[in-house]
Structure 1
């Protein structure tokens, strides 16, 4: 190998893993393979480095996890209690926001009209704005129907908050009720087997979801 060849040779895989590890550790949010490709030297294989790191961190206090199409370092689920704060600031979601969020998560991409059809009542602008501000939903592609209505989908922030790799990992109706995120009686038609929604849109004091 000539000196010129060595200038363009990719670092050894062990060094690539160290680079990826450093980026994940320092990043405020999940990082995609494409992001890593742009940061690492030419010729590196961040996808392979990620797989190696994921295996190496298995069973450790910190894990390499997939969040949508990105990757991040996260505390092992069974050690999450060590990170709890004594005082927690909570944000309330109205029942309408919970139902709207669930419909989007389980039916995405979905339009406002489709959300209203499932719920049986109109969706206020404030409900959608709140979910957008929390960055739990975002605008998706416009639907190829008359009027080209915009659709809504959940975000990586939503997946990351609930520890999900993708929307297919969403819990079922029984799991949501067991976690206290739904009333014991069927509240809305967002999930398979649920009944139609009640006719309140922004009724306070009903089923509430709390965000840490």
Structure 2
């Protein structure tokens, strides 16, 4: 509608020009974010929240306000990488555990490969093999891909344009991490049951000690990372 189409109004009155897409109240936006996060099994990014919410809504502000509102509660609004999720408070995790928990252990090769990817990402297969000193089997990488703990990253701008590997939000979520900077060390992985404390069959005690030192080096983040 143009200004010429507007009806003549009494002197002192202005036409109503409010947007038809006015953003919902802040409290309502928090309720919307809460509903989306509660219904989603996977962490939801700010972009995805904005796409689902009405025009003009500010998902970033709403999720921050909601996170503060949930502080000290049994569940919390937790950041996972670049996304957000509703998670049980860390100190109440024992309530969710069963009496018997069977942990699936990864092979030594898979653990080393996962550690190298986590601490050196983005990293190519050739770089993984160079760090480990041995070749990486396709089955090892496929297993980590199937578990959705790693995924393909950007191709490197080098001859052949090799693909790189990086850890996934699912990996971060499993360990309760906000970002790769908070990666667990050797002790944490052993406590989770993913790393075997026993030396490989046929290895002496001294061999096991040497291997432990090598593993510790794998789980130490490089200074430039």
**Structure-1 residue corresponding to 2:220:** 192
- Segment of structure 1 superposing worse, 148-157 or 172-181: 172-181
The C-alpha deviation readout for 1:121-178, integer Å capped at 9, x for no partner, is 1100000000000000000001111111110000000000110001001133455456
Match of 1:157 among 144, 166, 170: 170
- Structure 1 unaligned residues grouped into runs of 5+: 195-212
Match of 1:41 among 51, 54, 72: 54
Structure of greater Rg:
2
| Superposition deviation, residue 85 in structure 1 | 2.0
C-alpha distance in structure 2 between counterparts of 1:175 and 1:89, whole Å? 17
Give the secondary-structure state (helix, strand or coil) at the position aligned to 1:72: strand
Change in Cα spacing, 1:4 to 1:24, as seen in structure 2 (3 Å) is: farther
- Segment of structure 1 superposing worse, 98-107 or 85-94: 85-94
C-alpha distance in structure 1 between counterparts of 2:104 and 2:75, whole Å? 27
C-alpha distance in structure 2 between counterparts of 1:121 and 1:78, whole Å? 41
Give the secondary-structure state (helix, strand or coil) at the position aligned to 2:78: strand
- Segment of structure 1 superposing worse, 31-40 or 84-93: 84-93
Change in Cα spacing, 1:155 to 1:144, as seen in structure 2 (3 Å) is: same
Equivalences for residues 121-140 of structure 1 within 5 A: 121-140=134-153
- 8 Å CA contact 2:105, 2:193 repeated in 1: no
- Structure 2 unaligned residues grouped into runs of 5+: 1-13, 198-208
- 8 Å CA contact 2:106, 2:194 repeated in 1: no
C-alpha distance in structure 2 between counterparts of 1:53 and 1:134, whole Å? 31
C-alpha distance in structure 2 between counterparts of 1:176 and 1:91, whole Å? 12
Give the secondary-structure state (helix, strand or coil) at the position aligned to 1:116: helix
| Superposition deviation, residue 6 in structure 1 | 5.8
| Superposition deviation, residue 28 in structure 1 | 1.2
Question: Which protein, 1 or 2, shows the higher relative CO under an 8 Å CA cutoff with sep ≥ 6?
Answer: 1
The C-alpha deviation readout for 1:10-65, integer Å capped at 9, x for no partner, is 11000000000000000010000000111000000010000100101011100000
C-alpha distance in structure 1 between counterparts of 2:164 and 2:100, whole Å? 37
What is the count of residue pairs matched by the alignment?
A: 194
Structure ranking higher in strand proportion = 1
C-alpha distance in structure 1 between counterparts of 2:221 and 2:157, whole Å? 29
